[in-house]
Amino acid sequence: NKQLEINEKGHLTVGGVDTTYLADKYSTPLFVYDVTKIRENARAFVETFASLGVKAQVAYASKAFSSIAMLQVAKQENLSLDVVSQGELYTALQAEFPVEKIHLHGNNKNREELEMAIQHNIGCIVIDNFHEIDLLTDILANYEKEVDVLLRVTPGIEAHTHDYILTGNEDSKFGFDIANGQAEKAFRLLNQKDRIHLKGLHCHIGSQIFETDGFIMAIRRLFDTLADWKRKYQFEANVLNLGGGFGIRYTNEDDPLPLNEYVRALVTEIKKQVTIHQMDVPEIWIEPGRAIVGNTAVTLYSVGSKKEIPEVRNYIAVDGGMTDNIRPALYQAKYDAILANKADQPNTYTTSVAGKCCESGDMLMWDLLLPSVESGDILAVFSTGAYGYSMSSHYNRFPKAAVVFIENDKDTLVIRRETYQDLVRNDLSYE
Ligand code: LLP
């Protein structure tokens, strides 16, 4: 199910552009994003909400891949934006992202971050803990400003792919527990703050989720809480933010739902709960990261060395690895790949793909089936658009890769490859 676009030379293309041309022009490792696909994913979310007649904000979780160009595309697609740090917020401001559609997250927001958010009048702060409430109260008094917030709660549901677990008290560093009353305590505290306007609740149950059950259970928990607060405090939520986590296909083992089906399931359950509890339909916010960009990029690598261990395993090594994609090493994440310059040739050779770092764990793929591989071939790894570049590192002092956007048959460099000078830019001498 690789849905390949292959040209008459037998080369893999992205958005109509030959990937071997891109590898030549920009060198490797190279992230190549198909912007048309980013827009399609964004629109699948936005248009499904619109077609169901509910008010919604689709906030792109920029941790998945943040760059000025990416945030400009998000802005063009009328997305909102989830940022989790001052760096992500700074990038958003540089991209001139509309501040009223930026939401700030984080389990340890510091004074500087909160001040930056307040100074720039960002749309919403997702309150995570009591310390943050104190800091925010203080800052708002100094600046004579007001802010809209959501309360992040842990509903006791944790979902991963097909599994979800239900717990009374979730053992998580994020948010306020519903079960032990912390959420209600925070709610009452926020209600006393003149300058802080509580718009509703937020929860995020996990990432790379393939089914809707976990979301549905979370929605039920949130509505139980909202019903309780309505009864006790006459509180009505304007906003319900259900976080991100919508899964994508990395390999054929993965079987995610089409994006519109996640949206339909959420909206259906919320409408049901609203009827049961006699409430108004709140605005529904979601925060997809991976589902917007994950399947929109390939990483191109050049194949270098080769090692064959008879009766054991074959290895090829590429010119990147855990520095541009930590996910296999960190999560045992699986990927699929082909030889971009031999995309029409039959797969006859089984080999594992190693990275170039001095680290045995730096393996990108195990026992991949490829055409006969030679040094200089271009390996294209699929679905690297989320948490690839954004989690990349300088380990072994590898400069970070370059990023290219493709749209309308045109390639545009959007992040330059780092240079060796970049690597030592902040180094000071000690002679
Ligand atoms: N909202 C919140 C509050 C989150 O914590 C996250 C992800 C998202 C939204 C976006 O989730 P997504 O739609 O991308 O699944 N580095 C890991 C994923 C970590 C996700 C952390 N939070 C990976 O590479 O799989």
Spatial separation of the C-alpha atoms in residues 144 and 164, rounded to whole Å: 43
Is the CB–ligand 1 distance for residue 202 below 6 Å? no
- Does any ligand 1 atom lie closer than 6 A to the CB of residue 290? yes
Q: Where does the pLDDT of residue 4 fall: very low under 50, low under 70, confident under 90, or very high at 90 and above?
A: confident
Mean pLDDT lowest for which of 158-162, 194-198, 325-329, 378-382? Answer: 158-162
Classify strands 124-127 and 102-104 as parallel, antiparallel or unpaired. parallel
ipTM: 0.99
Helices (H) and strands (E) in the chain, counts: 12, 23
Fold equal for 13-34+294-424 and 105-287 = no
Q: Which CATH class is domain 13-34+294-424?
A: mainly beta
In the chain, % helix, strand, coil (3-state, to 5) comes to 35, 30, 40
User: How confident is the model over 251-257, as a mean pLDDT?
Assistant: 95
194 φ, ψ to 5°?
A: -65, -40
Is 220 annotated to bind a ligand? Reply is: no
Which atom in ligand 1 lies closest to the alpha carbon of residue 391?
16
User: Above pLDDT 70, what percent of the chain?
Assistant: 98
Domain ranges of the chain: 13-34+294-424, 105-287
**From 104, 107, 207, mutation site for ligand 1 pocket: most ligand atoms within 8 A of C-beta:** 207
3 falls in which pLDDT band (50, 70, 90)? low
* Neighbouring residues of 345: CB distance < 8 A, sequence distance ≥ 6: 10, 339, 371, 372
Tell me if 416 is assigned to a ligand binding site. no
Q: How far apart are CA 301 and CA 395, in angstroms?
A: 17
Average pLDDT over residues 19-43: 98
Higher confidence at residue 59 or residue 161?
Answer: 59
Tell me the C-alpha distance between 372 and 339, whole Å.
Answer: 9
Phi, psi of 301 (to 5 degrees): -125, 155
Using the mean position of ligand 1's atoms as its centre, give its distance from the Cα of residue 172 in Å: 14
Half-sphere exposure of 254 (CA within 13 A, CB side): 22
Distance in angstroms (rounded) separating the CA atoms of residues 109 and 132: 7
Average pLDDT over residues 175-194: 95
Q: Which of 249, 287, 387, when mutated, tests ligand 1's pocket best, judged by the most ligand atoms within 8 Å of its CB? A: 287
Give yes or no for residue 256 CB within 6 A of ligand 1.
no
Position 42, amino acid? A
pLDDT confidence of residue 199: 98
* Residue 130: pLDDT over 50: yes
Q: Does pTM surpass 0.95?
A: yes
Q: How far apart are CA 20 and CA 227, in angstroms?
A: 58
| CATH architecture for the domain at 105-287 | Alpha-Beta Barrel (3.20)
- Is 291 near ligand 1, meaning CB less than 6 Å away? yes
Question: How far are the Cα atoms of 16, 44, 91, 156 from residue 5, in angstroms, in the given order?
Answer: 8, 22, 33, 43
Instruction: For ligand 1, say whether the CB of 387 is within 6 Å of any of its atoms.
Output: yes
Examine the residue annotation and report whether 124 is marked as an active-site residue of this protein. Answer: no
